[in-house]
Amino acid sequence: MIRFDNVGMRYGDGPEVLHDVTFELESGGFAFLTGPSGAGKSTLLKLVYLAERPTRGLVHLLGHDIATTPRRRLPELRRRIGVVFQDFRLVDHLSAFDNVALPLRVAGAPETRIREEVTELLHWVGLGDHMDARPPALSGGQQQRIAIARAVIARPKLIVADEPTGNVDDKMAFRLMRLFEELNRHGTTVLVATHNDALVARFGHRRLRLEAGELMPERSARQSA
């Protein structure tokens, strides 16, 4: 699903912020990406959701070598990835409902199905009473839940989430992680960046740890238990 071979990344002519990152996340896998602020988590995710290209090394995604994939093919790949951005990136003039409906509308789903699925998911994330509200009228935590609902509504092959529980309480964070797990059980590959170690500890998934742009050697599940 995702393979990085000796990936290095710098912004412009600044210092390198990822060094020789090599890892593989198999189809149907679930991994947390952890590490302190500034370690490069968001940068690594941007390479995965094709917002950036590596300065060196190889990024393989959904069976494609990104460096040799024609630029015009990238949007099609990109649509198979559900992204939860750290800053949400909701459409402010659309209701919560219409924000979440967007990926289904892009995919040409019938309105009856859209109404049913969006309504159910918004209830599930606790926003059943706010479906008509626009994002600026909602709290950070509520906006975050809309962003998560939008990322998962069209059942993407791959979900990439950048600090998706940074604005909600522990109980909601746990609930949202269970949503990712539920999708993962149905075959979706999940990569979640977080510096919430308590949350990571509660779920027994693989951990990829970045420190100062370097991926730390992985411990086996037994060692980290």
Contact set with ligand ADP (CB under 6 A): 11, 14, 17, 35, 37-43
Q: Where are the beta strands (DSSP E) in 39-120?
A: 56-61, 64-65, 81-84
Which span (35-43, 105-113, 126-134, 135-143) binds Mg ion, by CB under 5 A? 35-43
Determine if 142 is a binding residue for Mg ion (CB under 5 A): no
Choice between 42 and 144, CB closer to Mg ion: 42
In whole angstroms, the minimum distance from the beta carbon of 201 to Mg ion comes to: 20
CB count in 10 Å sphere of residue 59:
23
Contacts of Mg ion in 175-194 (CB under 5 A): none
Determine if 42 is a binding residue for Mg ion (CB under 5 A): yes
* Count of chain residues binding Mg ion (CB under 5 A): 2
Q: How far is it, in rounded angstroms, from Cα 205 to Cα 29?
A: 9
Choice between 42 and 188, CB closer to ligand ADP: 42
Q: How is 147-171 classified by DSSP, letter by letter?
A: HHHHHHTT--SEEEEESTTTTS-HH
Q: How far is it, in rounded angstroms, from Cα 90 to Cα 186?
A: 26
Instruction: Supply angle C-alpha 133, 196, 45, rounded to 5.
Output: 75
In whole angstroms, the minimum distance from the beta carbon of 169 to ligand ADP comes to: 22
User: Helices (H), strands (E): how many in the chain?
Assistant: 8, 10
In whole angstroms, the minimum distance from the beta carbon of 12 to ligand ADP comes to: 7
Choice between 130 and 206, CB closer to ligand ADP: 206
Choice between 26 and 87, CB closer to ligand ADP: 87
Q: How far is it, in rounded angstroms, from Cα 107 to Cα 57?
A: 33
In whole angstroms, the minimum distance from the beta carbon of 154 to ligand ADP comes to: 25
Radius of gyration of the chain (CA): 17
In whole angstroms, the minimum distance from the beta carbon of 158 to ligand ADP comes to: 19
Choice between 39 and 173, CB closer to ligand ADP: 39
In whole angstroms, the minimum distance from the beta carbon of 213 to ligand ADP comes to: 7
Name which of 188, 167, 170 is nearest 179 in CA terms.
Answer: 188
Looking up tokens 């159910």 gives 120
- From the list ligand ADP, Mg ion, none, partner contacted by residue 160 (C-beta under 5 to 8 A by kind): none
Choice between 17 and 122, CB closer to ligand ADP: 17
Name which of 143, 45, 38, 160 is nearest 99 in CA terms.
Answer: 143
What are the residues binding Mg ion (CB under 5 A)? 41-42
